[in-house]
Chains A and B, each alone.
Chain A
Amino acid sequence: MGIFEWIRLIAGSALLACGLFIFFTEIFGIFHFRYVLNRMHAAAMGDTLGIGSCLLGLIIFSGVNFTSLKLLLIIIFLWFASPVSSHMLSRLEVATNENLEAHCAIYPDLETLEAEFRETDAQGGSDSSDEEKGGAV
């Protein structure tokens, strides 16, 4: 094999292994977190970055032909589709959970949230990291 063949092999394998590692991180996160809105944070990573680097490694393996163009099309489609499906899933969770206040803080509108942030900034920013501020909706 020539030098370019070796470069292609090493770069493609590295990208494929990177994608598999991101998938493993996703699995770890989905078993580690306790609530679905936290789990979604880990799960949305694999939809874009994991499959992106896996298919980029396969594109490098495949070379320049029509197959790699279609693989690139899959990556671009998932960049658009993954945020929409994550948004729909979080809307489902927020709409159907009755005791959402047990998991994260809920603010009825943005003005109260901003007022609370301004209060904590006026008191001093050191204690604001202790309390949880997960502004849902």
Chain B
Amino acid sequence: MIYHYIYIGTLIILAAMLFACLIRAVRGPRIADRLVAVNMMGTMVMVIISVLALMLNEGYLVDVCLIYAMISFLAVVILSKVYIGVYEERLHKTQKPEDNGSDEGGVSNGNF
């Protein structure tokens, strides 16, 4: 019985933190802010799913959590790659008449 109260308390605290994280994802001034907040939200949702798996005594929810971890990681990597590509394409389009000077000191070596 006491385990049930511990799980409920953990879930409530994690839900409040998830809401605070969502505020940061909405307010973040840059794209990287939002992606960092979404990554944190994914981590907290993983803990919530694991707590639910033990609370409901359903072992298969941990499999869901493992797949969620992989998809969250893939989403962050692919979204950052896509935003780098979109930015470089836009830079390329605006600087087309002069020359394609899109190398910012070797920062983006343009493998996208």
Interface residues of A (CB under 8 A from B): 9, 13, 16, 19-20, 23-24, 26-27, 30-31, 36, 39-40, 43, 46-47, 50-51, 54-55, 58, 61-62, 66-67, 70-71, 73-74, 77-78, 81, 84-85, 88-97, 106, 108, 137
Contacts and interface: CB of A to CB of B under 8 A. Distances in A.
Interface of B is mostly: helix
A95 B107 contact: yes
A74 B40 contact: no
28 contacts: A20-B10, A23-B14, A23-B47, A27-B20, A30-B36, A31-B20, A36-B36, A39-B36, A40-B32, A46-B44, A70-B62, A74-B50, A74-B62, A74-B66, A77-B69, A77-B70, A85-B39, A88-B76, A89-B36, A89-B39, A89-B76, A89-B80, A91-B80, A91-B84, A92-B32, A92-B80, A95-B107, A95-B108
Given A24-B17, A67-B59, A70-B59, 16 more contacts: A9-B3, A16-B10, A19-B47, A23-B17, A27-B17, A31-B20, A31-B24, A47-B43, A58-B50, A62-B54, A74-B50, A85-B77, A91-B84, A94-B108, A95-B108, A137-B106
Contacts of B81: 88
